[in-house]
Chain A
């Protein structure tokens, strides 16, 4: 059973339908990448999970408990990091974390312990007595993670944690998330695909208010692997010769040539690299390079979104 289950979720703002029958299942101890374009409904989904927005219909279950709008009972299992976390500027990180700890009902001793540990984890140990008002975006984001992990949540929800940051800040956040992986399940929304590839083990692509694609990263790459090959020849003449071979004139095969490089895409089931190698040996051509095209997350994403 997954730690988070969403069934047939519908939500519209006015006549604008944002979620259109969303189904999702997040298994325990995964880093789940929740990918979608801007405005695809990622934040809306997360707010519904947190009970901050009321869904039109459908159900959300966290750790086997149903989420009801306006009540925050299920939130004790959840840690949430908003896209741009805002804190009280007149407090320092220590005071803020203590406030959060008191709200979640941790004991005084536990709060003390956890605060030190988390500030260490997110690298704000030396800033713990400085006013949050003077913090940079990245520092606030790190404090946001500390705050979200305070009650040892079973599910950590991060809404675009890296979008507003520079490359250094992004790397820091991703490292912290990877470090937290063993302790909690992470649902991580983003539109930056390289981040997903770096830390996530499962992804779901949200498009048109539904999950258009989901699975583990390797599974998805396998499923969407094209029989695509790139062949580089010694000169343009050989490339042309290969390109115009009779055996390749089939509807399942599409060819494109750029000078002495030919790209072959095959959609037929029984066609693979051997088929091309046979043609090459028949024609007695030796290519300089023969490479299999790896599908990138970007190409997958573009395909789904189109």
Chain B
């Protein structure tokens, strides 16, 4: 436990001093502000692109458009940035040999994995909260009349998907020696989820639903209860990934 806390502290210092947290916060803050802005401006931009004579009218933008932007950007760009930033989470320490010192000081390998996971999840939580807060504030400002339903639940689903992805990333990192290998395996995990999504019957159990059903939840076309099974499965899978990472890392020859 002391090892876990000490190493967690070191991870936090590392995120701050190597500008990892800084980049994440800026990226997510920029998204947070631009999401509603893009929603608002999109019709005007499209109209200005339209050729003369053709008059296309677009429906007035609403809060849903802002949230569509939010879920699209946070999953497609935000999570990709996070995965790239964290791809070297184990490999950089192993290849440089910085971990050897601490392990020979009696730091348990389980503590290493668990504190790394905790710190990644913390960074993701702060980032998504910042992005959500900004988008929420500006959406209220631009579209004060629009009502959304299940907003927090929908964001929570997205957060859980991020957690699942980070667990998969950690598992990949414990399997390979390089950060490219780690990226590759994480990519394969996501790809498998996407392919499985083709079969409608599996949709209820596929973690990727957590990142695709968000808009449906907000406009009430998808029922909250239909996601309970996938939430349970994602939690379980994350737990399995983290446990496997611990087991693999404990057996790794350094």
Direct contact of A and B (CB under 8 A): yes
**Residues on A close to B: CB < 8 A?**
47, 50, 52-54, 70, 72-73, 75-76, 78-80, 82, 84-88, 90-91, 95, 99-100, 102-105, 144, 147, 150-151
A261 to chain B, nearest CB (A): 51
Please report the total number of B residues contacting A with Cβ < 8 Å.
28
Instruction: Give the contacting residue for A90; candidates B5, B14, B250; CB below 8 A.
Output: B14
Known: A53-B254, A54-B253. A88 touches B105 (CB 8 A): no
B1 to chain A, nearest CB (A): 10
Q: Determine if B51 is an interface residue (Cβ-Cβ < 8 Å).
A: no
CB <8 Å contact, B104 and A75: yes
CB <8 Å contact, A75 and B251: no
Known: A52-B104, A54-B253, A70-B250. A103 touches B109 (CB 8 A): no
Known: A80-B104, A86-B101, A90-B18. A99 touches B254 (CB 8 A): no
Which residue, of A85, A95, A100, A103, has the highest number of chain B Cβ atoms within 10 A?
A: A103
Known: A75-B104, A86-B97. A91 touches B109 (CB 8 A): no
Bound CA–CA A70/B251 (angstroms): 6
Known: A86-B96, A87-B101. A103 touches B106 (CB 8 A): yes
CB within 8 Å: A-B pair count: 83
- Using Cβ atoms and an 8 Å threshold, which residues of chain A touch B98? 86-88
Bound CA–CA A82/B104 (angstroms): 10
A12 to chain B, nearest CB (A): 13
**Residue of B with least CB distance to A87:** B98
- Using Cβ atoms and an 8 Å threshold, which residues of chain B touch A147? 101, 105
A65 to chain B, nearest CB (A): 13
CB <8 Å contact, A75 and B101: no
**Residues on B close to A: CB < 8 A?**
2-3, 5-7, 9-10, 13-14, 17-18, 96-98, 100-109, 250-251, 253-254
Instruction: Give the contacting residue for A75; candidates B2, B17, B105, B254; CB below 8 A.
Output: B105
CB <8 Å contact, B253 and A53: yes
CB <8 Å contact, B104 and A103: no
CB <8 Å contact, A105 and B2: yes
Instruction: Give the contacting residue for A99; candidates B10, B17, B103; CB below 8 A.
Output: B10
CB <8 Å contact, A70 and B109: yes
CB <8 Å contact, B107 and A103: yes
CB <8 Å contact, B17 and A104: no
Chain B contact surface mostly: helix
CB <8 Å contact, B7 and A103: yes
User: Which 3 residue pairs spanning A and B have beta carbons closest together?
Assistant: A102-B6, A90-B17, A80-B104
- Using Cβ atoms and an 8 Å threshold, which residues of chain B touch A104? 105-106
Bound CA–CA A48/B108 (angstroms): 16
- Using Cβ atoms and an 8 Å threshold, which residues of chain A touch B3? 103
Instruction: Give the contacting residue for B101; candidates A53, A72, A85; CB below 8 A.
Output: A85
A97 to chain B, nearest CB (A): 11
CB <8 Å contact, A75 and B106: yes
A81 to chain B, nearest CB (A): 9
- Using Cβ atoms and an 8 Å threshold, which residues of chain A touch B2? 102-103, 105
13 more A-B contacts (CB under 8 A) besides A52-B254, A75-B104, A150-B105? A50-B104, A52-B103, A72-B107, A75-B103, A78-B104, A84-B97, A86-B96, A90-B18, A99-B9, A102-B2, A102-B5, A103-B2, A147-B105
CB <8 Å contact, B97 and A72: no
- Using Cβ atoms and an 8 Å threshold, which residues of chain A touch B14? 88, 90
B246 to chain A, nearest CB (A): 11
Known: A70-B250, A102-B2. A80 touches B101 (CB 8 A): yes
Known: A99-B9, A102-B2. A72 touches B254 (CB 8 A): no
- Using Cβ atoms and an 8 Å threshold, which residues of chain A touch B5? 102
Known: A82-B100, A86-B96, A103-B2. A52 touches B105 (CB 8 A): no
- Using Cβ atoms and an 8 Å threshold, which residues of chain A touch B109? 70, 72
Bound CA–CA A8/B6 (angstroms): 37
- Using Cβ atoms and an 8 Å threshold, which residues of chain B touch A80? 100-101, 104
- Using Cβ atoms and an 8 Å threshold, which residues of chain A touch B104? 50, 52, 72, 75, 78-80
**Residue of A with least CB distance to B250:** A70
- Using Cβ atoms and an 8 Å threshold, which residues of chain B touch A100? 101-102, 105
**Residue of B with least CB distance to A144:** B101
**Residue of B with least CB distance to A85:** B101
Bound CA–CA A56/B154 (angstroms): 52
Bound CA–CA A302/B229 (angstroms): 71
CB <8 Å contact, B101 and A82: yes
- Using Cβ atoms and an 8 Å threshold, which residues of chain B touch A150? 105
**Residue of A with least CB distance to B6:** A102
Bound CA–CA A257/B13 (angstroms): 69
- Using Cβ atoms and an 8 Å threshold, which residues of chain A touch B7? 103
Bound CA–CA A72/B13 (angstroms): 25
B135 to chain A, nearest CB (A): 32
**Residue of A with least CB distance to B103:** A72
- Using Cβ atoms and an 8 Å threshold, which residues of chain A touch B254? 47, 52-53
Bound CA–CA A208/B100 (angstroms): 27
Bound CA–CA A101/B171 (angstroms): 29
